[in-house]
Amino acid sequence: MLTFDAHLDLSMNAIEWNRDLRMPVPKIRELEAGLTDKKGRGLGTTAFPEMRAGHIGVCVATQIGGCMKPRAFVACWESPPQAWAMTRAQLAWYRVMEELGEMRMIRNRAELEAHLETWADPVAAAARGEAIGYILSLEGADSIVTLDYLERAWDSGLRALGPAHYGAGRYAMGHDQVGGLKPEGRDLVREMDRLGMILDATHLCDDSFWEALDLFSGRVWASHSNCRSLVPDVRQFSDEQIRALIERDAVIGAVFDAWMVVPGWIRGRTTPETSEATIDRVVDHIDHICQLAGNARHCGIGTDLDGGFGTEQCPKDLDTIADVRSVAGKLRDRGYEEEDIAGIMHGNYLRLLREAWAE
């Protein structure tokens, strides 16, 4: 079954972590053996061969370059021009991957449908080494130097944007903060609406979340978020927020970062072996949203498996991103119908994109 992964930080891994994602994961781990400059060195999970093995034929791939205060632990720069320059470097990497046949940018419905034709048989497509389709997203808006840069980013292929990441952003407050959108953030959201961008509600603190939804009339998704009622942390969505997203016909991508999967995880101390973090626990979050909605239309996959960590912070039964395929079988074991399983694995995000790009 085709899998749509709604959140992968591929370019960050290539540019900042110096990973050649054309290599298989075991080779990348071998090359990183003994390195300690970044968390998760030698423990990565994500590269193109494993994505194809997991039938991840289409994804949302990010640019990420913030300048939040206090400085975030990943992808954070001192000024907006520096952050913008980093996102340009990341875009340049995506372009090279396109030239080499590894990836294919998807900017509109016609390109989406053409790409899906090449992945109609995911097993055969993976065996042929078909290009992996990607929708370009920006995680945190700090790199948008001034508002006119947003249209420049749109013209370069940007189709989704999350206004905040960690900390106090230039446009919105990250999940670990309090407060609404900045005045510039309200202008940003209105400009996103005008351009037809998708609003990614992930990482917005509660105040900014509600204000953004009130201001924005376009399509909304949450690329990588889980449920606060299962793991009580402000990074997760409350049931009230989930219901609001359901009312907007949004899709929420289940994230595999272990501290968002099970309660009580202490980053840097808890290990997969000493926790109850498994892929089944990820499916608990999917199921919770389905129960709130009364249907399976609003769930998807947004692994974030390359988001600055490796197997030290993953479900214990996951070695590489190829193992995400097992979600389908776990849903089947819980009695989910095949149509609903297909929706969660890829169909719900594809429906949202088709509707957003209908014109």
- Crossing angle of helices 109-118/348-356, nearest 10°? 150
φ/ψ (deg, to 5) at 94: -60, -40
Summarised one tens digit per residue, pLDDT across range 305-336 is 999 999 999 999 999 999 999 999 999 999 99
Summarised one tens digit per residue, pLDDT across range 40-79 is 999 999 999 999 999 999 999 999 998 877 777 778 899 9
Q: What is the DSSP string of 147-214?
A: THHHHHHHHTTEEEEES--SSB-SSSBBTTS-----HHHHHHHHHHHHHTPEEE-TTB-HHHHHHHHH
Nearest to 174 by CA among 309, 307, 87, 73: 73
% of the chain with per-residue pLDDT over 90 = 94
Please report which confidence band the pLDDT of residue 124 belongs to, taking 50, 70 and 90 as the band edges. Answer: very high
Per-residue pLDDT at 20 exceeds 70:
yes
Average pLDDT rounded to a whole number, residues 147-164: 98
User: What confidence score (pLDDT) does residue 359 get?
Assistant: 67
Helices (H), the chain: 10-15, 25-32, 48-53, 80-99, 109-118, 122-128, 148-155, 183-195, 206-215, 239-247, 279-293, 326-333, 338-342, 348-356
pTM value surpassing 0.85: yes
User: What confidence score (pLDDT) does residue 178 get?
Assistant: 95
φ/ψ (deg, to 5) at 312: -65, -15
Domains and CATH numbers, the chain: 3-356 (3.20.20.140)
Summarised one tens digit per residue, pLDDT across range 246-260 is 999 999 999 999 999
Summarised one tens digit per residue, pLDDT across range 251-287 is 999 999 999 999 999 988 999 999 999 999 999 999 9
Average pLDDT rounded to a whole number, residues 120-137: 98
Summarised one tens digit per residue, pLDDT across range 175-230 is 999 999 999 999 999 999 999 999 999 999 999 999 999 999 999 999 999 999 99
User: What confidence score (pLDDT) does residue 254 get?
Assistant: 98
% of the chain with per-residue pLDDT over 70 = 99
If you average pLDDT over every residue of the chain, what do you get?
96
Average pLDDT rounded to a whole number, residues 134-160: 98
